[in-house]
Amino acid sequence: IDSVKIFDMIEKKAENLAVMARKKLGLNARSVGAAEEAVRGSDVVVTVTPTKTPIVQGEWVAKGMHINAIGADALGKEELEAGILNRAKIVIDDWEQASHSGEINVPLSKKIITRANIYAEIGEIVAGAKPGRVSEDEITVFDSTGLAIQDVITAWRAYEVAEEKGIGQEIEPLYC
């Protein structure tokens, strides 16, 4: 990663994250004043917003770009202009979940895309059943709604850190 551009509607939040990324992660990070500035010229774009109105426009997306669409995690939310999905290789984490609450839910409901537009579930690529990117020019989109296993792993890691630091409070399990 050569550089990181961060945009937030609240400019101070973007600047604070850029400062943290520089100090703690050693990244060449800076805040920018507009979503377009963050997207244009980037190789990888990560969206994490609660919006129901697309914030990433198709004309900003260049050949070879990868987009991790993480924010559209509920019915009606969408971060990407639907035309982007028609140009991209779309990978989802889980069909049942993504089709109802992921980035693809609105374009599916409007019949802008169909299930045939979905290239793969991420597990198919990880398991080697399907290749990931096959061309440097491919636009790829990963629609991540989040899987329960991610929550389990995060909770386990939080538990390990709490144990290492001797912090937290042990509670009795609700179900035995």
Burial class of 29 by CB neighbour count within 10 A (0 to 12, 13 to 18, 19+) = buried
Name the residue with higher pLDDT: 42 or 152. Answer: 42
Predicted local confidence at residue 23, as pLDDT: 96
Domains of the chain: 1-33 (no CATH), 43-165 (3.40.50.720)
pLDDT at 175 > cutoff 80: no
For tokens 């004043």, the residue is 33
Question: What does pTM read for this prediction?
Answer: 0.84
Q: pLDDT digit string (tens) for 52-103?
A: 999 999 999 999 999 999 988 888 889 999 999 999 999 999 999 899 888 9
Q: Which residues pair with 67 in a beta bridge?
A: 45, 141
**CA-based diameter of the chain, in Å?**
54
**CA separation for the pair 41, 149 (Å, rounded):** 33
Burial of 116 (0-12, 13-18, 19+ CB in 10 A): exposed
Average pLDDT score over residue span 16-36: 97
Q: Do 21 and 6 contact (CB within 8 A), yes or no?
A: yes
- Please name the residues in contact with 60: beta carbons below 8 A apart, sequence gap of 6 or more: 36, 39, 40
CA angle at residue 77 from 47 to 95, to 5 degrees?
85
CB 22, CB 42: distance < 8 Å: no
Residue 11: its pLDDT value, please?
A: 96
pLDDT band at 159 (very low <50, low <70, confident <90, very high): very high
Whether pLDDT at 171 is above 90 = no
Phi-psi sector, 26: left (phi>0), alpha (psi -120 to 50), beta: left
Q: Check residue 169 and give its pLDDT.
A: 87
Write the pLDDT tens digit of every residue in 99-150: 988 899 999 999 999 999 999 999 999 999 999 999 999 999 999 988 788 8
CA angle (78, 55, 76) in 5-degree steps: 20
Q: Is the confidence at residue 176, as pLDDT, over 70? A: no
